[in-house]
Structure 1
Amino acid sequence: MKRLLTLLCTLVLAAGPGSAKAPKAAPFAIQGERFLVDGKPFIVRSGEMHYPRVPRAFWRDRMKKMRAMGLNTLCTYVFWNLHEPEPGRFDFSGDLDLAAYLRTAQEEGLKVILRPGPYICTEWEFGGLPGWLVKEADMKVRTADPRFLAAAAKYLKRVGQEVDALQADRGGPIVMVQVENEYGSFGKDMAYKQAIRQAMVDAGFRAQFYTSDGPGQDMLAGGTFPDLLPTVNFGAGPECAEAFAELDKFRKGIPKMCGEYWAGWFDHYGKAHHTTDPKEGAEGVTWMLQRGISFNLYMFHGGTNFGFMNGANWTGRYAPDTTSYDYDVMLDEAGRPTPKFFAYREAIQPFLAKGEKLPELPAPQPLIEIPAIRFTESAALSQLLKAPVHAEAPLAMEALGQSYGYVLYRHAVSETSREVLEVKDVRDYAVVLQGARRIGSLDRRLRQSCLDVDVKAGETLDILVENTGRINFDKAMLEERKGILGAVTLGGKALKGWDCYSLPLSDLSGLRFQAGEVTAPAFHRATFDLTNVGDTFLDLRGWGKGQVFVNGRNLGRHWNLGPMDTLYCPATYLQAGRNEVIVLELEPASQREIRGLKNPVLSQGLGR
């Protein structure tokens, strides 16, 4: 018996303290003022990059460049308006394959911070909210309106299904998930915030929740939760100390993190292209890393607001953002490293973990020049008109079941008159015609609403209205609708009886081009041949205003206001052999050529 007891004691001692298996460290956790990954301290060095702004073929290249600069985490929004273009119809395919994007990040050694919204701002059309949400005139987005909350919950549930297996607790890369987005700059409705948070829980999000707001005490109070990690957003450079002092006043004993470190800035049509100092921005990164502070660079790579997806700002005046989202950051619109890349890389390198080594940059991707392409065929915009909706007064775009593009409003003139035509509340740019005769244009940016006209009985009065981007920030979002929102009067008398034609420009197959010139607004077509494909920038100098389509892909808007005088055309939109380019031109511009350049032209704008 004595020998048996001795043997049992020996076995227990060999098994160590508690023969039960020691608990495994969480893949990502907060301990006091530190982040932990697998139980070890972790500083988040994140960069923002958005999958709809970068063609899928380039995702991995850009992520490799993130790692080469010293980043360990990728941050991205999720884009509701793209994933649910119509109520209940979801799309996570191709360039919208969110799960594939996140898996690629993990394969490249990156953690992921996910920002599913439902509101995302990001200089994107309506802050990522679908236009169909506001078909009902009294819908209030980003509020506790039960219709908005129900739609948002369905969307979040669908996103949750896409990314469930990619959360850290299941071996995936997602370590943090943001609740709403900078809500402290919009409102203080705790019921709304709690409803969105609960919808995210119900959708199966389990990674570390956090919020992101400006550093002001009011913004932090409005946007945060008592039990969730708050982060602060601010401009690159000397704002660091002040921002974190404000965060420290608001809440102590937490890991400090800059949710958005604005490494550059976005552009508006008609204004100068923004640039910021690489050295100053890099010094801010050094300041944070010296203190063990985590950060997310907004942006690392901006990319492009392809198609109709640019947003707009409101500061008492409407200001649409450009198609280019170059943002003056570490990679340019074509993914090439800029001076900021090397300045920030140098700032990060001294703070790498022991044994950590930065990978080499991948080989540069080809850029090409395309000789002048001459346009010799045209087609009238009217070829795309289908059955209209008739109404006594013009109907908003959303009331027509349309989110993007143009609406043509047509009125049969019954009396010849020379009066003032007033179009109340144009959203956002209108071309006014009688028959083929152009009368003038109205621009919401300039608060224009009136034109002197000379109209003749028996002819139609056409008002072609373009949605140049829904406001993506500020409470002005609550009233944002497109088209003509008020009455149209002639000499003070309301014009009644309108045919409203939807022109989303999602399908141009109905166009029949012919040789020669067609009066604007019209489409112009050309073809060109390529032996080798590569990225290029289409030079639109000399053109007026409209859209550009290459091989059926909507590149975005051209507008002669600057600062963006070129449109980025990725190699993936081109093909060896014959290519087609179609330009919608709203203005009577004389230019009928386009060429491809290796570098963008970002001017100082015209200041209009």
Structure 2
Amino acid sequence: MKKIIHILLFLLVINLSSTAQQKQTFAIQDGNFLLNGNPVQIHSGEMHYSRIPQPYWRHRLKMMKAMGLNAVATYVFWNYHEIAPGVWDFKTGNKNLAEYIKTAQEEGLFVILRPGPYVCAEWEFGGYPWFLQNVPNMVIRGNNKEYLAATKAYFNELYKQVANLQITKGGPIIMVQGENEFGSYVSQRKDIPLEEHKKYSAAVFQQLKDVGFEVPFFTSDGSWLFEGGALPGALPTANGEDDVAKLKKVVDQFNNNQGPYMVAEFYPGWLDHWAEPFPTQKSEQTVRQTKKYLDNNVSFNYYMVHGGTNFGFTSGANYDKEHDIQPDMTSYDYDAPISEAGWATPKYNALRELLKTKETPNIPEQFPVITIPNISLSKVVDLEDLKSKIDPIIEDTPQTFEQLNQGDGYVWYSKKFTQPISGKLELNGLRDYAIVYLNGKKVAELNRYYKKYSCEIEVPFNATLDILVENMGRINYGSQINSNNKGIISPVIINGETITGNWEMYKFPMNREPDLTAYKNPGKANRPVLYQGAFDLKKTGDTFLDMRDFGKGIVFINGINIGRYWSVGPQQTLYVPGCWLKKGKNQITIFEQKNETIQKEVKTITTPILQDLKPEKG
């Protein structure tokens, strides 16, 4: 059986590379995936263009090919491309989806497109643009005209980019997913009648067809959730199902008693949250399950084969009863076969031994890794100095990020008191992390993860209360996706009294590196500060910033936000791709929120630290 499969895979690859830009056929018929009428098995890996620097796309695709795969699957992240209402970007840098798909084809890989509109993916707001929450009457993932009008506009813009990249038009796209894990959402929102859920999923599926997609469709759900997630006319695939008999039984039940059979999310690792242990999976377990699929003619897609990085503010969050939010880490390493920095892991090598044929190419050379001499942080600027240059928005009550027309980053809330008050300060509507200052002195850290929403406070005459609030990523999974406002979303209460009148709000979206040229005032400990330094390089390469001496914040390298750090771990380093460094002068800017000690320098190391957990006390 294995020999036959390898022959079919070889024919599949030859067909793809020799007939690029020529129309082909890919069909789901008679219980098989058929390429130009011939049965094939899909051996795919999930890899997201947005989580890899564009200059590294080809290398990572070559890594997949050298592992023995014949397809790459990717979500499309709506909020990555609609950067403001009605403003679309499918061309800049990592946003060039069409280029990513073309590169995959050049490397001999088919493409499985997963456009959502909901994607989950441990991504900010599950892929939705934050500003949808400002549209009156809109209900995310609901059967309402405002939402469906937005999804239609998104699909129309997406299709313009990928229409000619379908296999029927000479491109590599062989399948398109309808919605995503909708059965899970149905199971969590039993307050909505199943009929209404079905109307929504049918409507969004029809939109995908109406814009012009003509390759086969599929759905992706847990095997026990097909009733809510399966769509007529789309192949049901089972996420994470390792029982082949169960897989075939449930697919047959929802697919006219026939295959083909596919696990669209086969997990070789798992996602990671701040302040929680880093999950791992032994190579032997992944190899054993892969062999089981091979032996039983089950197609699969490793989620993830290469996770990459949640650069900037792209990471999302989960929600559970123990923690009101579980923010996802910057690293999306996922314990995947290909590491965050693109390295072949022992898991990769073991799977390659199982999957490779005589035609499988060699593993591409790893990008060089360097250390940088300790980087001196020559400038330390108090964030309040930048605040003094911003015109505040003044309202009687604190406003949410969305009311302030801000998606990400931070908002500084400030309130002057003419009368004293003391007692418990309550921020029950904190979303998500706050540091509280009174007359410039730090009073407390409040934190949605640890459900710490209050502290004791004594406000004297003519005092100023400052609350710096961070959005740690909108929830991307589950019923709470429709409760995703950020900032302070309920009244501020002191000693049982609601504090109103003349709240000043200063916006710090941090969507670009702050310009510190005009600022000279040195920052102090226990104040939010911006550090800046420069360093010279004679050669470039990948490296890892060692953030163990810092508290909580973000880092810019040459103007690029490479992500969040937080001392609780388990991630203690930040990946710096060498393609974002340059020979000669480079610049680093660090926004440090906690700043318990003034830092003089930052170090780099050659290997990541992803399993060093140092949780804070609640």
Q: Tell me whether 1:408 sits opposite 2:408 in the alignment.
A: no
- Pairing 1:469-508 to 2, within 5 Å after superposition: 469-497=473-501, 498-508=503-513
1:263 aligned partner: 268
Please give the alpha-carbon distance, in whole angstroms, between the structure 2 residues aligned to 1:213 and 1:481: 27
- Pairing 1:67-86 to 2, within 5 Å after superposition: 67-86=65-84
Relative to structure 2, which stretch is displaced further, 158-167 or 390-399? 390-399
1:525 aligned partner: 532
- Pairing 1:80-119 to 2, within 5 Å after superposition: 80-93=78-91, 94-119=93-118
SS of alignment partner, residue 273 of structure 1: coil
| Deviation at residue 246 of structure 1 after TM alignment | 3.7
Tell me how large the CA RMSD over aligned residues is: 1.7
Relative to structure 2, which stretch is displaced further, 312-321 or 302-311? 312-321
Pick from 32, 49, 52: which aligns with 1:51? Answer: 49
Relative to structure 2, which stretch is displaced further, 386-395 or 319-328? 386-395
Please give the alpha-carbon distance, in whole angstroms, between the structure 2 residues aligned to 1:573 and 1:26: 38
2:18 aligned partner: none
| Deviation at residue 415 of structure 1 after TM alignment | 1.3
2:167 aligned partner: 168
| Deviation at residue 70 of structure 1 after TM alignment | 0.5
Please give the alpha-carbon distance, in whole angstroms, between the structure 2 residues aligned to 1:137 and 1:322: 32
Please give the alpha-carbon distance, in whole angstroms, between the structure 2 residues aligned to 1:233 and 1:387: 49
- Pairing 1:242-281 to 2, within 5 Å after superposition: 242-251=246-255, 252-281=257-286
- Contact preservation (8 Å) 1:157, 1:202: no
Report the AA paired with residue 221 of structure 1: E
2:448 aligned partner: 444
Please give the alpha-carbon distance, in whole angstroms, between the structure 1 residues aligned to 2:268 and 2:370: 28
1:382 aligned partner: 384
Please give the alpha-carbon distance, in whole angstroms, between the structure 2 residues aligned to 1:140 and 1:441: 33
- Contact preservation (8 Å) 1:384, 1:503: no
| Deviation at residue 607 of structure 1 after TM alignment | 4.3
Q: Tell me whether 1:365 sits opposite 2:352 in the alignment.
A: no
1:191 aligned partner: 199
Please give the alpha-carbon distance, in whole angstroms, between the structure 2 residues aligned to 1:549 and 1:44: 39
| Deviation at residue 29 of structure 1 after TM alignment | 0.8
Please give the alpha-carbon distance, in whole angstroms, between the structure 1 residues aligned to 2:513 and 2:32: 54
| Deviation at residue 483 of structure 1 after TM alignment | 0.5
- Pairing 1:145-544 to 2, within 5 Å after superposition: 145-187=144-186, 188=194, 189-216=197-224, 219-234=225-240, 238-251=242-255, 252-316=257-321, 317=323, 318-349=325-356, 357-385=359-387, 386-497=390-501, 498-511=503-516, 512-514=518-520, 516-519=522-525, 520-544=527-551
Please give the alpha-carbon distance, in whole angstroms, between the structure 2 residues aligned to 1:185 and 1:344: 30
| Deviation at residue 249 of structure 1 after TM alignment | 4.5
| Deviation at residue 509 of structure 1 after TM alignment | 4.1
| Deviation at residue 138 of structure 1 after TM alignment | 5.3
SS of alignment partner, residue 85 of structure 1: strand
| Deviation at residue 125 of structure 1 after TM alignment | 0.4
| Deviation at residue 579 of structure 1 after TM alignment | 0.9
Pick from 546, 568, 583: which aligns with 2:553? Answer: 546
Q: Please, which runs of 5 or more residues in structure 1 have no aligned partner? A: 1-23
1:60 aligned partner: 58
Report the AA paired with residue 377 of structure 1: K
Relative to structure 2, which stretch is displaced further, 356-365 or 126-135? 356-365
Please give the alpha-carbon distance, in whole angstroms, between the structure 1 residues aligned to 2:361 and 2:464: 64
Report the AA paired with residue 125 of structure 2: F
> What's the TM-score once normalised by structure 2's chain length?
0.90
Relative to structure 2, which stretch is displaced further, 241-250 or 193-202? 241-250
Report the AA paired with residue 258 of structure 1: V
| Deviation at residue 485 of structure 1 after TM alignment | 0.8
Report the AA paired with residue 481 of structure 2: M
- Contact preservation (8 Å) 1:25, 1:38: no
| Deviation at residue 239 of structure 1 after TM alignment | 4.4
| Deviation at residue 226 of structure 1 after TM alignment | 2.6
Please give the alpha-carbon distance, in whole angstroms, between the structure 1 residues aligned to 2:109 and 2:570: 34
- Contact preservation (8 Å) 1:384, 1:510: no
SS of alignment partner, residue 79 of structure 2: helix
| Deviation at residue 268 of structure 1 after TM alignment | 0.6
| Deviation at residue 493 of structure 1 after TM alignment | 0.7
SS of alignment partner, residue 301 of structure 1: coil
| Deviation at residue 595 of structure 1 after TM alignment | 1.2
SS of alignment partner, residue 579 of structure 2: helix
Q: 1:124 to 1:169 in 2, by over 3 A?
A: same
How many equivalent pairs are there?
576
| Deviation at residue 248 of structure 1 after TM alignment | 4.0
Report the AA paired with residue 430 of structure 2: V
Please give the alpha-carbon distance, in whole angstroms, between the structure 2 residues aligned to 1:332 and 1:180: 28
Please give the alpha-carbon distance, in whole angstroms, between the structure 2 residues aligned to 1:82 and 1:384: 28
- Contact preservation (8 Å) 2:310, 2:563: yes
- Contact preservation (8 Å) 2:104, 2:111: yes
| Deviation at residue 276 of structure 1 after TM alignment | 0.3
- Contact preservation (8 Å) 1:537, 1:599: yes
1:16 aligned partner: none
Relative to structure 2, which stretch is displaced further, 186-195 or 108-117? 186-195
Report the AA paired with residue 359 of structure 2: K
- Contact preservation (8 Å) 1:542, 1:589: no
| Deviation at residue 260 of structure 1 after TM alignment | 0.4
1:10 aligned partner: none
Task: State the 4+ residue runs in structure 1 displaced beyond 3 angstroms.
Answer: 136-139, 238-251, 507-510, 515-519
- Contact preservation (8 Å) 1:105, 1:112: yes
- Contact preservation (8 Å) 2:270, 2:279: yes
SS of alignment partner, residue 307 of structure 2: coil
Please give the alpha-carbon distance, in whole angstroms, between the structure 2 residues aligned to 1:566 and 1:542: 11
| Deviation at residue 209 of structure 1 after TM alignment | 0.8
| Deviation at residue 241 of structure 1 after TM alignment | 4.6
2:14 aligned partner: none
- Contact preservation (8 Å) 1:136, 1:399: no
Relative to structure 2, which stretch is displaced further, 244-253 or 325-334? 244-253
Report the AA paired with residue 52 of structure 1: S
Q: Which has more radius of gyration?
A: 1
- Contact preservation (8 Å) 1:565, 1:602: yes
Report the AA paired with residue 144 of structure 2: D
Please give the alpha-carbon distance, in whole angstroms, between the structure 2 residues aligned to 1:561 and 1:305: 18
Q: 1:137 to 1:444 in 2, by over 3 A?
A: farther
> What's the TM-score once normalised by structure 1's chain length?
0.92
| Deviation at residue 417 of structure 1 after TM alignment | 2.8
Please give the alpha-carbon distance, in whole angstroms, between the structure 1 residues aligned to 2:144 and 2:83: 21
Please give the alpha-carbon distance, in whole angstroms, between the structure 2 residues aligned to 1:389 and 1:606: 37
- Contact preservation (8 Å) 1:383, 1:510: no
Report the AA paired with residue 490 of structure 1: I
SS of alignment partner, residue 469 of structure 1: coil
Please give the alpha-carbon distance, in whole angstroms, between the structure 2 residues aligned to 1:465 and 1:244: 49
Please give the alpha-carbon distance, in whole angstroms, between the structure 2 residues aligned to 1:246 and 1:118: 25
Report the AA paired with residue 264 of structure 1: G
Report the AA paired with residue 343 of structure 1: A
- Contact preservation (8 Å) 1:139, 1:148: yes
| Deviation at residue 572 of structure 1 after TM alignment | 1.6
| Deviation at residue 424 of structure 1 after TM alignment | 2.0
- Contact preservation (8 Å) 2:513, 2:560: no
Please give the alpha-carbon distance, in whole angstroms, between the structure 1 residues aligned to 2:58 and 2:113: 18
